[in-house]
Every structure is written in C-alpha cells, then in structure tokens.
Amino acid sequence: MGPSVTFDDVRAAEARIRGLVRRTPVLTSSVLDERAGARLFFKCENFQKAGVFKARGAHNAVFALSEDEAAAGVLTHSSGNHGAALSLAARRRGIPAHIVVPEGASAAKVEAIRRYGGQVTFSPATLPGREAAAARIRGETGARLVHPYDDPLIIAGQGTAALELLAEVPGLEAVVAPVGGGGLLSGTALAAKGLDPRLRVFGAEPAGADDAARSLAAGRFIPQENPRTIADGLRTSLGQLTFPILRERLEGVLTVPEDEIVEAMRLAWQVMKIVIEPSSAVPLAALLGSGSPLRGRRVGVILSGGNVDLDRLPWIKA
Amino acid sequence: MGPSVTFDDVRAAEARIRGLVRRTPVLTSSVLDERAGARLFFKCENFQKAGVFKARGAHNAVFALSEDEAAAGVLTHSSGNHGAALSLAARRRGIPAHIVVPEGASAAKVEAIRRYGGQVTFSPATLPGREAAAARIRGETGARLVHPYDDPLIIAGQGTAALELLAEVPGLEAVVAPVGGGGLLSGTALAAKGLDPRLRVFGAEPAGADDAARSLAAGRFIPQENPRTIADGLRTSLGQLTFPILRERLEGVLTVPEDEIVEAMRLAWQVMKIVIEPSSAVPLAALLGSGSPLRGRRVGVILSGGNVDLDRLPWIKA
C-alpha cells in the first residue's frame, strides 16, 4: 500500500497555505446559466497565484517540509504549470527549485519557471530522459521530488479550492473539475465527499484524452496513449494514488469533443470577461452539452487556470 | 444654467440600482503593483451586466422615470455600449428602448443591442443624420432621450462604481478613471470628493483624443476633432454637464500613447486573466508609464468594460 490521503489532509492543507495563496473569487453568469439550464458557480483558479490551481498543491508540499528537508530544495520534471508553481512556492520559502524541462518546451513555459526563480535543467523529451535528469539532480542535491499530481501533499493542496467554494456557496448539489493526472479532481472529491457525502462529483475530460473515463468504466487503470487535445493540462494518465481515490468517490466522467472545448473557452472569455485556458473550459463544455446530467442543478465548477499564449488563440486562424 | 448633479444624486443612484446591477469585485495584482510602483485596486466593471459600467447609469436613468414617463420608453443614438446597456435596463423595466444606430456600425454592436431587446433604427452616420432620426422617433413615440453621458441620471449612476470601490478598500489616496465624454469620470469625481475631499481624482485619456486634457488646461471647452485611438469608448468630447464638474474636481488628466494602451491591455489579460477593452487599459497604461504622478500611492482604478471583438485582437496581426 502506498500513502493514502484523507479529508483531514485537505483541511490541514487549507490551514497551511492560507495567506500564501489567493482565496479566489466565485463568479456567476446569467448567460451561461441559461445556456446550461443550470445554476453555475465558477471557482476562478485562473486568478490564483501563477495563474493556476497548482499553486495550492505546490505551496502545501513546500511548506509541509521540515527545515532540514526544505534546505535541500525541491525538484520536479513537469515543464508546465506545476513547474512554475513549485518555483514560486520554493522562492517564497527561500529554498531552491530544480525544474527538469524537456528540450523543445515552449519559451513561454521556460520563461515562467525562471521568472519565479526556478532553476531550469534541459533533458531529452522522453520520459526516461526526464527521469534520468531528475535522478541525477536528486543525487547531487538531495532535493525532494514533488510529483505534479501523484503526491499526497499535492492532492490535499489542490482540494482546498473545492473546500473554499463549498464554504462560500451554500446548497451546491454537484461539483465538476477537469481531470488529467487527477490531482485536482482527487482533492476536489476528497473535499466534497468529506463535507457532504451526498454531493455528486464529476470529472470532465477531452474525448481525445479520455483515459479517466475508460479506466473508471473498466475498473482498472488504462494509460493514455497518444492524447489528442488542445487541453494541454489534461493529456496525462491517472496516477497510482489518484485512480483509487477517484474510483471510490466519483459519480462519473463527462467527455467532450475538441470543438466544444474551444467554443466553451471563447464563450467564457466573451461572456464572463475572464481568460481561461483550454483545460479550464472542459467542465464548462460538458455542462453546456446536450448530454449534461446536471441540468436543473446547482453546480460548482473549478476553472483550473488561465495560462494561455495570447498571441495564438485557437479560434483565430493564423 | 442646466441641471446640476451632486454627491446625493450618486447616493440616490446607488440605492435605486442596488440589486439591478452587479456589485463588481475588486481585484489586485502583485505583478502590476511592482511594475507601477504603487498599490493598485481594480474595480472590475468589465464584469458588470452588459460587460460595462454603462449598465449603472442606464439602470439609474430608466428606473428613475415615473410610470407615465416610462410607458413611452427610452431612446438614444449611441450605437456602442450605452445603447446595449439602455436596452437591457429598459427590458428589465418592461418598456421599449429605441436605439438609433449609424449605418456601417459593426454587426457585433447591433447584435448586442438586439440581444438585450433594443429596437434598432438605422440612420446616416453623420451627427445631424442621427439626431434627425432620434427626433423623428421621439415625435412618434414620446420616448425619453437618454444621452450617453451628458445627463444627470447617467452621471450619478456611473459614480456608483467609485462609491462601491471606496467603501470596500480603505485608505485609498487617489482614483483614476478613463475619460471620453466624461460621464464615468464625473460620477467618479462626485463620489470620491463627496466621500473625502482630500482624495485626488485623475482622468486618463489617449494622446490621440486628448480633448479633456486640453480643455481643462485651457479652462474652456475644446471639442475633439478627428480622434485617433483604438480606445473607441474615449473618442467623444466632454459634455456641457461633465466639463464643469471635472473642472472643479479633477487633479489632472494623464495622457498615454497608443502603443502603451495596447501593451497595458495585453498585460492585464496576461497577468490578471481578465478581458478588458482598450478604453479600460488607458488608466493602467498611465499608471505604468514613467511619468505617473501616483508612484508610492494606494490607487483605485476603474476598469470600465470588457466588450472586445475576440476575433480581432490589437496585438495579433491578421
């Protein structure tokens, strides 16, 4: 048995990161309510520090370390939002963050990591190449590896967004969050079921990277091969920790086609006047779809982040 | 003497429109604070109903009418945000809104007006042509003309954004709002000076449409000819009502070049994850400029609106 995560861990995370991350606002939109045939409450993690919910887990992981553990720094091989968020959390604790970035990663991502003080090491783009680079840095520095989603402290930290949402909005009947590796959704499910077992928790996933839907339907872990989706935060497979958490607590996973993701993203920008990234638009797309099981309900929606390349928007053809 | 507007009118407007318009959130950004060398508090009227502060004045004007006056409906010849906001307010009171739109206005603007239930009448694009069309409708219907900015009820309504901001954020030293016709800035100045005469109020204006700066410097009204700016909400000249209000209460008008408006707009999208229109970016650009007189200060900023054509962004070349 690996380590487990509980509702108490989410509560402990909330106390630990309070004041370090933002208590993000909850926004509503009468236009989107009408289109979804439901009452939607959007937890705006796009306004979170570093522009993404991942600041929650990263701060929880970094600030849970003892002084001795912390001194050696932290390490990850996620080039995306997690790498930037971990860099920010480490800088605020005054410890080094080593981020392994695959060659060919976008300049914007590398720049974000460096802006938050992360130390970038380039590696081959393959998983073995990245793991070898991480192992080498770990040997040299003793830094603690912080996995982007399959880590109890990360999962507990990500669950604090749902905890805040449910404390602020009374009477919610369901919560929907996007699912890639499952860190955010696992934390959300722990928080929601811990507060009220009757709350229904749904994942939302691109049809082109639907390993969570398939894994949960099959009752066994099925890895995602060749993910095809614009929602770059959701291309990963579920983890060893996140899969069992979700299997026990999830009502279901809603899948959406690519064109509906882009449409929902553009609609949120247009109607709500907020910048959200494609991964964030996936739950909204599911709720706008004709097959939504949540019509007529009061639904909390986690808008996961807003880190977008503003020079290349998916609805503008170059 | 025409009609005057007072602080009490702004307070009355606040009571009248409460529950009809949104109490918009105030957001902050450590990145923008650092760049501006000041502590900035953004009143997000881009989240306002119809996407713009103009919903405030429009609801105040429409709901201040007696039953008899209201029955004949309202009328304006603003094709932009005011036309849409007035349509929305009228629909909520259950009365007709007649909007005179110049031929050649963008399809998006016409669609917004119709979506909110406004009745569109096309007219020649010249001012005499628009006024003739408005006069004809007025004769036929008896509808009350609601000027987009030079109307006491409109000015008082727009001032409620600053009233909310100042109630929520203690210790502000200055407030900055964009200035076109001057309705928003006049209401802001009435609210701020009414609450605390020591508060400094600044306008912000594109260098390519700087009639307010020139008028206030000269001490007499100088109309704007051939405005050249992307900030389409700020191309108009000050009005007969707004000029004297501003002359008495304003600390100054900050002007900004076009490239800095686009840069500030993009920066707000990127860092704050909010969609704001070019007019809203003008105060931010002024505060980011090296000549800002507000370095080191706690400053309230009215972000006026977020109605942007998402298919044509100024930093993406077609």
CB contact (8 A) between residue A310 and residue B313 = yes
Of the candidates B273, B276, B310, the beta carbon closest to that of A51 is on B273
Q: The pTM is what?
A: 0.94
What digits encode the pLDDT tens for the residues A136-195? 999 999 999 999 999 999 999 999 999 999 999 999 999 999 999 999 999 999 999 999
Which one, of B179, B188, B200, B182, lies nearest residue B156 by Cα? B188
CB contact (8 A) between residue B275 and residue A273 = yes
Calpha distance B54→A302 (Å, rounded): 30
CB contact (8 A) between residue B273 and residue A275 = yes
Q: Is A276 on the interface with B (CB under 8 A)?
A: yes
Closest Cα in chain A to B309:
A270
Which of A145-159, B29-43, B53-67, B304-318 has the least mean pLDDT? B304-318
Catalytic sites of B, residue numbers: 54, 304
Q: Which two tokens stand for residue A83?
A: 């790498």
Of the candidates A46, A266, A316, the beta carbon closest to that of B273 is on A46
3-state secondary structure of B194: helix
**pLDDT for position A1:** 44
**pLDDT for position A318:** 65
Q: Chain B: nearest CA to A26, how far in angstroms?
A: 10
**Separate counts of helices (H) and strands (E) for chain A:** 14, 10
pLDDT confidence of B222, banded at 50, 70, 90? very high
CB contact (8 A) between residue B274 and residue A275 = yes
CB contact (8 A) between residue A274 and residue B276 = no
Of the candidates B273, B306, B315, the beta carbon closest to that of A306 is on B273
Residue A310 has pLDDT above 50, yes or no: yes
Phi and psi torsions of A119, nearest 5°: -95, 115
Q: Chain B: nearest CA to A296, how far in angstroms?
A: 23
Chain A residue numbers with beta carbons less than 8 Å from the beta carbon of B316 are 311, 313, 316
pLDDT confidence of B1, banded at 50, 70, 90? very low
Beta strands across the sheet bearing B144-145: B119-123, B97-102, B74-76, B144-145
Strands B252-256 and B200-206: parallel
Q: Percent of chain B having pLDDT more than 90?
A: 91
Q: What H or E segment, with its residue span, contains residue B57? A: helix B54-63
Q: Chain B: nearest CA to A248, how far in angstroms?
A: 35
Closest Cα in chain B to A309:
B270
Q: Chain A: nearest CA to B75, how far in angstroms?
A: 25
Q: Chain A: nearest CA to B266, how far in angstroms?
A: 8
Clarify whether A304 is annotated catalytic.
Answer: yes
Chain B residue numbers with beta carbons less than 8 Å from the beta carbon of A275 are 269-270, 273-275
Mean pLDDT computed over A72-92? 93
CB contact (8 A) between residue B47 and residue A273 = yes
What digits encode the pLDDT tens for the residues B84-96? 999 999 999 999 9
Mean pLDDT computed over A42-59? 97
CB contact (8 A) between residue B269 and residue A310 = yes
Q: Chain B: nearest CA to A298, how far in angstroms?
A: 20
**pLDDT for position A217:** 96
Q: Return the sign of the alpha-carbon dihedral for residues B136, B137, B142, B143.
A: negative
Q: Which of A273, A280, A308 to mutate to test the interface with B (most CBs of B within 10 A)?
A: A273
CB contact (8 A) between residue A316 and residue B311 = yes
Calpha distance B224→B180 (Å, rounded): 10
Quote the strand ranges of A212-261, DSSP E. Answer: 252-256
CB contact (8 A) between residue B274 and residue A273 = yes
DSSP class of B163 = H
Q: Which two tokens stand for residue A287?
A: 């709720």
Determine contact, residues B153/B60, Cβ cutoff 8 Å.
yes
3-state secondary structure of A170: coil
**End-to-end CA distance of chain B, in Å?**
50
**pLDDT for position A3:** 64
Determine contact, residues A284/A256, Cβ cutoff 8 Å.
no
Closest Cα in chain B to A271:
B51
Q: Is A22 on the interface with B (CB under 8 A)?
A: no
Q: Which two tokens stand for residue A50?
A: 């570093």
Calpha distance B182→A37 (Å, rounded): 40
Closest Cα in chain A to B269:
A275
Calpha distance B251→A76 (Å, rounded): 51
Identify which has the larger pLDDT, B198 or B125: B198
Which of A77-81, A179-183, B210-214, B291-295 has the least mean pLDDT? A77-81
Q: Which two tokens stand for residue B121?
A: 């009448």
Determine contact, residues B299/B41, Cβ cutoff 8 Å.
yes
Q: Chain A: nearest CA to B306, how far in angstroms?
A: 6
What digits encode the pLDDT tens for the residues A264-284? 999 999 999 999 999 999 999
CB pairs under 8 A between A and B: 49
Of the candidates A47, A306, A315, the beta carbon closest to that of B311 is on A315
Chain A residue numbers with beta carbons less than 8 Å from the beta carbon of B315 are 310-311
Chain B residue numbers with beta carbons less than 8 Å from the beta carbon of A19 are none
CB contact (8 A) between residue A310 and residue B311 = no
Q: How many degrees, rounded to 5, is the angle at CA B26 between CA A189 and CA A12?
A: 30
**End-to-end CA distance of chain A, in Å?**
50
- Window 236-275 of B: residues touching A by CB (8 A cutoff) are 266, 269-270, 272-275
Beta strands across the sheet bearing A298-303: A26-27, A39-44, A298-303, A174-178, A200-206, A252-256
Of the candidates A46, A273, A315, the beta carbon closest to that of B46 is on A273
Mean pLDDT computed over A292-315? 96
Q: Chain A: nearest CA to B74, how far in angstroms?
A: 24
CB contact (8 A) between residue A276 and residue B273 = yes
**pLDDT for position B318:** 65
Q: Which two tokens stand for residue A193?
A: 């079921």
Of the candidates B274, B310, B313, the beta carbon closest to that of A274 is on B274
Which of A38-47, A295-304, B3-12, B194-203 has the least mean pLDDT? B3-12
Chain B residue numbers with beta carbons less than 8 Å from the beta carbon of A48 are none
Q: Is B47 on the interface with A (CB under 8 A)?
A: yes
What digits encode the pLDDT tens for the residues B95-150? 999 999 989 888 888 988 999 999 999 999 888 899 899 999 999 999 999 999 99
CB contact (8 A) between residue B313 and residue A315 = no
Clarify whether A54 is annotated catalytic.
Answer: yes
